[in-house]
Amino acid sequence: MKISKLCERFNLTIGITLSIFFSNSVLKAQDTFSIVAVDSVTGEVGSAGASCVDMFNLPQYATDFICDNIPGIGVITTQAAYQPGNQTNARARMIAGDTPSQIIAWLIANDVQSNPGIRQYGIAAFVNGSPETAAHTGANCTDYKNHITGAYYSIQGNILLGQQVLDSMQSRFLNEPGDLACKLMAALQGAKMVGADNRCTTDGTSSLFAFVKVSQPADPYGSPSFLVSVKTHDNSGIEPIDTLQTIFDAAHTCGPAGLQESDAGNDFVNVYPNPTTHSLIVSFKEKPGKERKCVIRDAEGKAIFNKKIPSGYNVDMKSWKSGVYFVEVGEGKNISHHKILKP
């Protein structure tokens, strides 16, 4: 669909991603912004995105088509001059065990039209149980274009108002204390500005459609446990992210994070209090004298505490910033994961 307004309005990818282009019965979309992310505590994979494309003109495509959730493994966003063949190939590489960086390299080398310069991808996946990410923004995607990757998320966009769209998405995503669905919805709220997809400037909205979807590890492929989406007509003046928020709130509750979020079965560790403002106590349910490796990461995945500790160890958090922290205790396959909130 390369109608002038569509060509001027399409592109956004995050831990964020979207895309559309239609010609000779083949969707070749240009899309605006999107985000993809994984949660190593719950095993969830999720995505969210939005774009200034009137999806009522493309009834054969679901609103969330640019983001491919593969339960228990990862998620891929395939946007900017979208080609179904590239998305299918990316999924096959992920299922075969390629890392996000390997998938990106393969897609660039094997683009179905030999034109990777017009594509944009964002990938987040579990590699040997740990999150990894990678992204690609082709040099010939429509400006403004860029991507941001973190330890467990990737945010992408093109045809953007500017870098502020991606930066705002990242900030809202990282500072939302709720679960993965809540963080993805918050990321979209970060992009809620007139002309985020600059083709929608004349509409007075950020975009024309938006979605959030999250898959649990046991979900069948193509049937995510959580999916909300909305599409609006061009020139309707309706902000889709606000409408999506209303639908989201009716389907999902975003309370404070914390409360003991730990891996089932790995219950040999107690981490408390939670939430906490000054200190965190890490104790083991086993004989005294045992030391275990403890790693605490911030919301961006950076290890800010890493040492072997005895049971009952008191971690001083007074100088740490407010936010969500991830605690890993143990080594090898015997690791207990906990999510902690510092208000």
Please indicate whether the domains covering 4-251 and 261-342 agree at the CATH topology level. Answer: no
CA distances from 275 to 115, 259, 295, 333 (A): 49, 7, 18, 27
Determine contact, residues 18/33, Cβ cutoff 8 Å. yes
**Token reading at 134:** 């990678």
Determine the pLDDT at residue 263.
Answer: 42
- Strand 74-79: give its sheet, edge to edge: 67-70, 74-79, 120-127, 130-137
Determine contact, residues 304/324, Cβ cutoff 8 Å. no
- On whether the 261-342 domain is CATH 2.60.40.3080, my answer is yes
pLDDT one digit per residue (tens) for the chain, 343 residues: 333 333 333 333 333 333 333 333 334 445 689 999 999 888 999 999 999 988 898 888 888 888 999 999 999 999 988 888 999 999 999 999 999 999 999 999 999 999 999 999 999 999 988 999 999 999 999 999 999 999 999 999 999 999 999 999 999 999 898 899 999 999 999 999 999 999 999 999 999 999 999 999 999 999 999 999 999 999 899 999 999 999 999 898 886 543 344 443 445 788 888 778 888 999 887 666 788 999 998 776 778 999 999 988 999 999 998 877 888 888 776 778 787 877 7
Q: Which residues contact 25 (CB under 8 A, 6 or more apart)?
A: none
d(CA 270, CA 262): 9
CA distances from 61 to 32, 201, 276, 288, 292 (A): 16, 24, 46, 59, 50
With 0.85 as the threshold, say if the pTM is over it.
Answer: no
Determine the pLDDT at residue 288.
Answer: 65
**Token reading at 282:** 């890490």
- DSSP letters, 100-114, are HHHHHHHHHHT-TTS
Angle between helices 84-96 and 100-109 (to 10 degrees): 140
Determine contact, residues 276/325, Cβ cutoff 8 Å. no
d(CA 53, CA 194): 15
DSSP letter (8 states) at residue 159: S
In DSSP terms, 296 is beta-bridged to 305, 327
Residue with tokens 């992210």: 241
Return the domain boundaries, the chain: 4-251, 261-342
CA distances from 40 to 30, 252, 263, 328 (A): 31, 20, 9, 11
d(CA 164, CA 77): 20
Determine the pLDDT at residue 17.
Answer: 39
CATH-assigned architecture of domain 4-251: 4-Layer Sandwich (3.60)
Question: Taking the chain, what is the end-to-end CA distance rounded to the nearest angstrom?
Answer: 47
